[in-house]
Chains A and B, each alone.
Chain A
């Protein structure tokens, strides 16, 4: 994957290992932990947006599916965290695959709108809870000739899964064997270990034929097809992968905060993910990482400004986008005289 990336990975790993000894305050660690969770989503998005050139403003939806699968299975049905994680992955893959087939035929702003809509629909289901859905299913079931009481008996446990806008809590934490991940430090190592693996795999992927294929699609889809490339499966594959990364992030979030409610998975969040990727630099997965860190830490540092933070936040975002079109990482690379084409 190129020497630069290997060294970067090693440095990244070392930083992860030593950071908790530098940032001793649990507060900083918590901020970092959220950054880690969100960066998982953003790594996936940068594969999709930066490499395959397909935008998605619906990642919060996949994030939500992951979180709710874990939350519901663990809190309501007493399953282990790992079951929740896997189910989340399966559900997300299915959803991403099924909606991807028609959606990824769209382009540009239309694709943006479609993904946005999908994310919002998922958000609405979480918000409206499954009560209405079950009512609908019951209605169908009864019209299909099943006994109403039988139907309602079957559906009873599924009437209130998401807890609606109030969300639900008491989600147990993850335990790996005998190790129960509980303190901010433990979470830090756990989350960032996952992020490290995600980075490693993404970098591998990018520097393989698949990664090249995706960049080819980004570069010129017509030409890519003329060179014997069947583009839709590739786009689908990367879409599913980005959804899966979001799903893992969601599961981690659910177990970390132990409480989930729909506000965390709104459109604003989806848009924020895109912003994070762009701020860090679309042309590289490292950008996703850097962008997430910046956009997660910035608001915390701006707390001192009380209400004014919103203005300064907007201002800084504005300046970054006005003067760093390739994001922070892009800027750094231009320092080292590495052109856009060689990055990644």
Chain B
């Protein structure tokens, strides 16, 4: 699996191995979220390609990208208003069902069975992220950390090949962050490739198989956590160059 793209912000070309956890890090404004937006089709890219399992998915509309198996979460949570936790996750299962206006209005068997499957599946994913008990709460009424998990469940419910997590640890307390780490491992063990953007270095360093560092839209480094920690360019990017007179 390969992501290569010339971004509006500059030149980023990287590839992500399947069943791996890849972290994309970099200072604010490095273009991390933009990268995710381009991959997931939220914003059309100007140049370059997004290739996914040997197939060119560049310029796909978001729903196409999702069908292709690219799921994402949002940095600033975007759960559906006035919907329960369960319903939020159920929405993602629509992609797997087909019953349309007609059969739904008439409650034809097809739509009933669809509904049943959607519900069961959604509950599975809620349990997977450990929110089985929160199914019937209004999603937006729940604490921040829980909402982050709902977003992840919602993304996983698409049965994606790759899931793009945009700062999943943002605003979480240490315990929640640990929970997140184990969850991300669980996801990887399900055979789903994980790409995450994160500022929480300790998290990044202890979970990810490889790390890509962006700065001003340029890839400045790529490698295992250990390599990255020793990489001069990265340190400069974060701490700034020591200027000697």
Contact = CB atoms under 8 A, between A and B. Distances in A.
Chains A and B in contact, CB within 8 Å? yes
Contact of B101 (A218, A225, A241, A339): A241
Determine chain A's interface SS by DSSP, over half rule.
Answer: helix
Given A216-B80, A216-B83, A216-B91, A209 B66 contact: no
Interface residues of A, number: 33
A226 interface: yes
Contact of A211 (B42, B61, B79, B104): B104
A228 B63 contact: yes
A231 B62 CA distance: 10
Contacts of A229: 63, 91, 94-95
Nearest to B80: A219
Contact of A223 (B78, B84, B97, B106): B78
Interface stretch (A34-42, A100-108, A200-208): A200-208
Given A209-B104, A209-B115, A340 B82 contact: yes
A237 interface: yes
Contacts of B158: 227-228
B40 interface: yes
A220 interface: yes
Q: Which of B66, B80, B90, B106 has the most CB of A within 10 A?
A: B80
A228 B84 contact: no
B94 A228 contact: yes
Given A223-B79, A228-B67, A237-B101, A209 B111 contact: yes
Most B CB within 10 A of own CB, among A201, A226, A231? A226
A227 B83 contact: no
A276 B105 CA distance: 24
A201 B62 contact: no
Interface string A146-166: 000000000000000000000
Contacts of B72: 226
B87 interface: yes
A319 to B, nearest CB: 25
Contact of A210 (B80, B82, B101): B101
8 contacts: A201-B106, A205-B105, A212-B94, A225-B63, A228-B158, A237-B101, A283-B82, A341-B83
Q: Which 3 pairs from chain A and chain B are nearest by CB? A: A228-B66, A219-B80, A208-B104
